[in-house]
Structure 1
Amino acid sequence: MKTISIIGAGIGGLTSAIYLQNNGYNVKIFEKNSHPGGKMDIIQEKGFKFDTGPTIVMMPDVYKKPFTDSGVNYEDYFSLERVNPFMDVITGEGKVALSSDLTDLAREFEAYDESEMLGFLKYLTDIYGKYINAKDNFIYKSFRGPKDFFNFKTLWHAYKLKTFSSSFEAIQKNVSNTNLQYLLSFQTLYIGISPFSGPSIYNIIPMIELVYGVWFIKGGMFEYAKALEKRFLELGGEVIYNSEVTKIVVPQNKHVNGLLINGNLEKSDAVIANSDFPYTMTDLLDISDTKKGKYSEKKVQSMDYSMSCFLLYLGVDTKYAELNLHTIKMANNFEKNVEDIDTGVLPEDPSFYVYNPSAIDDTFAPQDQSALYVLVPVANLKENENWSTEVVTNFSEKIIKKVEKELGLVGLNEHIVYQSIHTPDTFKNKYNSAYGAAFGLKPTLKQSNYFRPHNKHSKIDNLYFAGASVHPGAGVPIVVTSGELTAKEVMRDL
């Protein structure tokens, strides 16, 4: 039986592990932390529970896939509940309750003008066609070499995606009202890229929200990580926690021999690195740059990295009836806000997102209390590395005041009984994310599809990659897909 070692019990690694273990391989996962999930992490303190990473569930069928493909009913592992309206978005013109119900959407767009609803439907038609193209020809297809991409059929499909304009520019072609344009463009921030510079193909994100809906996992996102771990263990796999991998062992710089953990060699027939790709290449592969292929240390450092996040986890001793599950407050000058992030400026008037699971799930906080999660998009450490204690303190106080004032949460500061803060440094130190980039490599046109790091190393035999920084990209459903693609690449070789 072939032995596979996986670095990291994140979502991509767990997914790969399920597929491989289910197909007769002997799989071990080595995780430096004490529990599964990677960035899909959890804080449990003073009766409060906080998801610390992803919070918005889209494409639920992808979440179900590792379970159904391994022969079980996903409902025995986690529970999904649809949320609709799924998000309150507050702009300078007021609050919109975003819904995946076409009747509700028509009401919102026609309030501006019937032409805006017509433009919205044209946008949906255009981006849905591109979504089918991307799904069938790029997202669910792995790449190994030039012939996989540079052939007439694939290049023709790539041309039809027409991704050379930005997300915002593509929306402007059909929708003329600036407020509505913002409502259809901010979602690219979910994968760490500006709508004003990110490729227009990422308009599939708001389309997926509006067509397929937004969901909630009962008990929170960490329950999904636990569900994947449970299924893997049931299949006979093994997870070794508190085991930090310090080196991928590659004798003669050619064929993977195993992993170095606490000074000991763990031999394996293949290795999947679910650790962040840039960290893997620079810190875990102790071989010459020439043997690393395209991704030398200099190349990795020069690549574009996604934005990061400043996160507040607030346990409050009250409930705010007016605060729903998901709320986004957009900056008064959204374009300037995103420009500041891209250039390393700490925004003076930042956009922010509030997740309030206590609105629909009582397991997150003591009775009549709330566990609030506040996220502010900020620059990564490559653009701005100044997160001193003073900066963190001042910025957190500023954000709490803004949330209290702009969402009408009366007395919020006085009701806080527990507080924890994550900065870009947290992503760097706890999750080994290069430059503290919360979403890995930025999904620019030059770092997407074939041009994103592949799931199999081009020069080193039996070394594979899964996660947000490799193909097909960031976002939980896409990382799940990455894990599946990587497992299939391993099976193809072994």
Structure 2
Amino acid sequence: MNALPQPAYRPDRPHAVVIGAGPGGLAAAMLLSARGLRVTVLERDPVVGGRTRTIAAPGGYRFDLGPTFFLYPRILSEIFRECGAELEREVEMMRLDPQYRLIFEGKGSNTTLDATPDLARMEEQVARLDPRDAAGVRPFMEENRRKLTAFRPVLERAFTRATDVMAADMLRALPLMRPGKSVDGDLRRHFRDPRTRLAFSFQTKYLGMSPFRCPSLFTILSFLEYEHGVFHVRGGIGRVSEAMARVAEQVGADIRLGTPVERVVFDGKRATGVVAGGRHIAADAVVMNADFAHAMPQLVPESVRARWNDGRIAKARYSCSTFMLYLGVEGTFPGLAHHSILLSQEYQKNIRDIEAGIVPEIPSLYVQHAAASDPSMAPPGHSALYVLVPVPNMLHGQEWSEADTAAYRRTALDRIRTLGITDIEDRIRYEKIVTPRDWRDEFAIGFGATFNLAHDLRQMLFFRPGNRFNGTEGLYLVGGGTHPGSGLPVIYEGARISAGLLLRDLGLAPVPTRI
């Protein structure tokens, strides 16, 4: 491994304050520190990672709080190399095959599909749903390979003015984007059976969106899984955030935990620092990694937010939320896959209900059984089960009272019986529940919208909050609330974009996005 670069000490080095030690904030801190800036990271929680932390629960159980797998590691690997480190040496990642098991509920019986990156085997799996659809697998892959190549330059640059939407790279990519189609609509050209289309489109849930509404660009999500792998991080995905913090500190960043920021300080429209713990911390630039909808009204004066005032933030379109169960269970489940996705027979109704603010009665859900591949996630003879159920965000009036929470816990436990998880209630040794209300109140996520602003065409590219925040100077955004959007690889890319803008604005060499 290369020696970690140590920036030369200069008392006049520009100072950047990063608000939040989530994945975007840590990536920005790594890049800016490696380029010689003085970087101070202020994190309100006692641990780094934000939603990418791992819960170390009593009894030896470990649970990822939010994301449970790692996708498309290229971008983060490049960020580590920019700091003289190697991601692969800092964390152990296991490529999964099968990537996950899909269970399609039917009237008489269920159908399963073990998604595999081996395309010949995947064709066999798809043929079990509809023999005609097997022929569409490789054309789908080839088309999305071209789509990603064409659209990658767009995802790697900032959109600072409206005319950027009509730049040459956008015009080249536009024919492959098919902006008038949804993900499901675009997949109809390759696959006849709705279950096959769902196998290649449920990934829009990573953005908290419906495949029947999500723009067709996002067919690249399932392509990335098959082309570049679905990885489990041994010990939990929080290991990645811990490694990022470790490397950031090695290249000079000062990470202060348990230090909430109260407000960003402005001189006119220029951010000049923050107030944290009642103390002013001066800065040449401020990078905000806090959740956009929650933090912007609290930290940034409305007078400098003409495009994103409180009214617009309240009326913006947001992703769904999630109801979570983290269960430490005595006993093991030998037949249960590492990742299982139960797709309800009423999948489309589930989505319509969620969009209308109705909590689904017969929901689809996702279960992670990490100990299937990683024994460190549970003590011997035990299992750590992570259960996620998509539900409406808090904009629709559901308050998640104790009675609501208890009733939906019962619904979730009943539903996982479909996966062969039966008779567990008496064996639960640890339990944590997170509702949309908890996401909002405990984890500071605006409206409990777990996946941030929705990714429809009116809230993408230039129409999303800017990496250099619209109308201000010296304030930069990272995280799912800015361009390019949500999802770990995209957030890391967004951190590179924002760090590059910040460095350019200070007259320094920008961060490369292609290494």
TM-score range, shorter chain: over 0.9
* Count of equivalent residues: 489
Normalised by the length of structure 1, the TM-score is: 0.96
For 2:14, the equivalent position in structure 1 comes to: 2
Question: How far is 1:209 from its partner?
Answer: 1.0
Is residue 198 of structure 1 aligned with residue 214 of structure 2?
yes
> 1:94 is matched with which residue: 106, 111, 126?
111
For the residues of structure 2 that align with 1:306 and 1:118, how far apart are their CA atoms? 33
Residue aligned with 1:385, SS: coil
Is residue 163 of structure 1 aligned with residue 179 of structure 2?
yes
Q: 1:201-256 CA deviation, whole Å, 9 max, x = no partner?
A: 1111111112222111111100001000000011111111111111111123x111
Residue aligned with 1:190, SS: helix
Identity, in percent, stands at 28
Is residue 16 of structure 1 aligned with residue 33 of structure 2?
no
For 2:8, the equivalent position in structure 1 comes to: none
Question: How far is 1:383 from its partner?
Answer: 2.4
For the residues of structure 2 that align with 1:188 and 1:52, how far apart are their CA atoms? 19
Return 5+ residue gaps in structure 1 as ranges: none
With over 3 angstroms needed to count, the CA separation of the structure-2 counterparts of 1:351 and 1:77, relative to structure 1, is same
For the residues of structure 2 that align with 1:384 and 1:229, how far apart are their CA atoms? 38
> 1:392 is matched with which residue: 405, 420, 426?
405
Name which of structure 1's ranges 439-448 and 63-72 shifts more when overlaid on structure 2.
63-72
Question: How far is 1:389 from its partner?
Answer: 0.5
With over 3 angstroms needed to count, the CA separation of the structure-2 counterparts of 1:395 and 1:250, relative to structure 1, is same
For 2:462, the equivalent position in structure 1 comes to: 450
For the residues of structure 2 that align with 1:408 and 1:85, how far apart are their CA atoms? 18
CA RMSD across the alignment: 1.4
Return 5+ residue gaps in structure 2 as ranges: 1-12, 507-515
Is residue 283 of structure 1 aligned with residue 298 of structure 2?
yes
Residue 56 of structure 1 aligns to which amino acid in structure 2? F
Is residue 123 of structure 1 aligned with residue 153 of structure 2?
no
Residue aligned with 1:250, SS: strand
> Do 2:123 and 2:137's aligned partners in 1 also have CA atoms closer than 8 Å?
no
What is the correspondence of 1:40-59 to structure 2 with a 5 Å cutoff? Answer: 40-46=52-58, 47-59=60-72
Is residue 326 of structure 1 aligned with residue 343 of structure 2?
no
What is the correspondence of 1:252-263 to structure 2 with a 5 Å cutoff? Answer: 252=268, 254-263=269-278
> Do 1:167 and 1:201's aligned partners in 2 also have CA atoms closer than 8 Å?
yes
Question: How far is 1:388 from its partner?
Answer: 0.6
For 1:493, the equivalent position in structure 2 comes to: 505
Q: 1:429-452 CA deviation, whole Å, 9 max, x = no partner?
A: 233211010011011111112221
> Do 1:342 and 1:383's aligned partners in 2 also have CA atoms closer than 8 Å?
no
For the residues of structure 2 that align with 1:448 and 1:460, how far apart are their CA atoms? 20
Question: How far is 1:292 from its partner?
Answer: 1.2
Residue aligned with 1:294, SS: coil
For the residues of structure 2 that align with 1:216 and 1:203, how far apart are their CA atoms? 22
Question: How far is 1:54 from its partner?
Answer: 0.2
Question: How far is 1:152 from its partner?
Answer: 5.2
What is the correspondence of 1:170-209 to structure 2 with a 5 Å cutoff? Answer: 170-209=186-225
> Do 2:436 and 2:448's aligned partners in 1 also have CA atoms closer than 8 Å?
yes
For the residues of structure 1 that align with 2:210 and 2:111, how far apart are their CA atoms? 23
> Do 1:307 and 1:377's aligned partners in 2 also have CA atoms closer than 8 Å?
yes
For the residues of structure 2 that align with 1:359 and 1:57, how far apart are their CA atoms? 17
For the residues of structure 1 that align with 2:472 and 2:366, how far apart are their CA atoms? 42
For 1:302, the equivalent position in structure 2 comes to: 315
Question: How far is 1:181 from its partner?
Answer: 1.5
For 2:438, the equivalent position in structure 1 comes to: 426
Residue 408 of structure 2 aligns to which amino acid in structure 1? F
Residue aligned with 1:194, SS: coil
With over 3 angstroms needed to count, the CA separation of the structure-2 counterparts of 1:417 and 1:186, relative to structure 1, is same
For 1:134, the equivalent position in structure 2 comes to: 151
> 1:85 is matched with which residue: 95, 98, 113?
98
